[in-house]
Amino acid sequence: MSTLATGKDTTCYRGRFAPSPTGHLHAGSLVAALASFLDARHSSGEWQLRVDDIDPPRAVAGSVEAITDSLSVHGLVWDGPLVFQSASEIRYERALKRLASMGWLFRCLCTRATLSERGSCGQDCEYREIGDGEPHSLRVKTHPERLPGFEDRFLGEQSVSAATLPQDFIVKRRDGLYAYQLAAAVDDAQPHFTHIVRGADLLDSTYRQLWLQQLLKLKAPAYGHVPVVQDDAGNKLSKQTGAAALDSRQPENNLRAGLRHLGQAAPPSSARSVTDILAHAVEYWTVGK
Ligand code: GLU
């Protein structure tokens, strides 16, 4: 039962699905939504829906409705109101101020052409005087040796190396928009989500978000990454590469395919409705390595 729905604190599990409003839900995003939903409901936890709308140039009109309709058709009903990251900007600014006051931020003039191979600042901007008037991004410095690895609930022990955590990364873009890494690190910790379940393509982002949470003294959630769905050529399904929208006329088949992908027990053939399939999947949800 949800705390939000009932007002009672009946659970200590809080999870979320956090799509960007850049298009429809496809088979890959359904898997991420389904995994986080099942993990939460199996633990009698809350499951929230957060719209990561901090990148207006990439937003696609109508996608919030398309995503919420599709989740509802698949029985993935969230707790409480929809949450929009764009409402949190004051908290991101506060986090940046805090990082700056501790000396972790620097202004960077790099464009694509001047970045290092791994995307770090490639021209020592940290040591330059960069005025307010010069278009710049804000980067946070990193120290991979100061970040312990983490235990991924699905993939097991993960360790950080210089290859997984670059020397620095962007927390505010030169166009003034807050970077996904900063927004996710702050919003996943405040108010505290206990468990983040999402696609394995975000594993590298997790190191960055853990780093920011450590610097900001925020309580990190437990992370678990599930296998991404790939197309025939082995590329991750994504809206950018034209992944087809889910066929909302056959949610039962979509759910069964998602469960197969997640290595879950197949619901019996007697489970014909979305409700039956989800009830079985919640009960038998297993987190394997
Ligand atoms: N909005 C991001 C995405 O859709 C965030 C994912 C996440 O942190 O779960 O890729």
User: Which pLDDT tens digits describe the chain residue by residue (289 residues)?
Assistant: 333 433 344 459 999 999 999 999 999 999 999 999 999 999 999 999 999 999 999 999 999 999 999 999 999 999 999 999 999 999 999 999 999 999 999 999 998 888 988 889 999 999 999 999 999 999 999 987 888 789 999 999 998 877 778 889 999 999 999 999 999 999 999 878 999 999 999 999 999 999 999 999 999 999 999 999 988 788 888 877 778 889 999 999 999 999 999 999 999 999 999 999 999 999 999 987 5
Cβ atoms of 174 and 137 closer than 8 Å: yes
Three-state SS for 240? Answer: coil
User: Would the CB of 184 count as within 6 Å of ligand 1?
Assistant: yes
**DSSP reduced 3-state for 99:** helix
Please state at what angle helix 180-189 crosses helix 203-215, rounded to 10 degrees: 60
| Nearest Cα residue to atom 7 of ligand 1 | 18
**How far is Cα 115 from Cα 113, in angstroms, rounded to an integer?**
6
What pLDDT was estimated at residue 146? 84
Scanning 132-240, the segments in alpha helix (DSSP H) are 180-189, 203-215
Residue 281 carries which side chain, given as an amino acid letter?
Answer: A
Protein residue closest via CA to atom 5 of ligand 1:
18
Backbone angles phi, psi at 150, to 5 degrees: -140, 160
Rg of the Cα trace of the chain? 20
Say if ligand 1 is within 6 A of residue 20 CB: yes
**What pLDDT, on the 0 to 100 scale, is given for residue 11?**
53
Q: What is the pLDDT of residue 9?
A: 45
Q: How many CB atoms lie within 10 A of CB 216?
A: 19
Tokens found for residue 65: 């409705």
From its phi and psi, is residue 193 left (phi > 0), alpha (psi between -120 and 50) or beta? beta
Cβ count within 10 A of residue 65: 10
At 139, the amino acid letter reads R
Instruction: Please provide residue 163's backbone torsions phi and psi, each rounded to the nearest 5 degrees.
Output: -75, -30
Pocket flag, ligand 1, residue 212 (CB < 6 Å): no
d(C-alpha 116, C-alpha 127), whole Å: 16
Nearest CA among 79, 66, 92 for reference residue 16:
79
- Whose C-alpha lies nearest to ligand 1, atom 4? 19
User: How much is the pLDDT for 1?
Assistant: 34
- CA 6/CA 37 separation, integer angstroms: 18
As given in the structure block, the two tokens for residue 286 are 């297993």
User: b or e along 109-124 (b: 16 or more beta carbons within 10 Å of the residue's beta carbon)?
Assistant: ebeeeeeeeeebbbee
Are 216 and 100 within 8 A, CB to CB?
no
The predicted structure's pLDDT at residue 285: 97
Long-range contacts, 143-146 (Cβ 8 Å, 24+): 146/214
Provide, for the chain, the percentages of residues in helix, strand and coil under a 3-state DSSP scheme, each rounded to the nearest 5: 35, 15, 45
52 CB less than 6 Å from ligand 1? yes
Residue among 208, 162, 204, 157 at smallest CA distance from 182:
208
pTM listed for this prediction? 0.92
Atom number, ligand 1, closest to the C-alpha of residue 17? 9
Distance from C-alpha of 279 to C-alpha of 20, rounded to nearest angstrom: 27
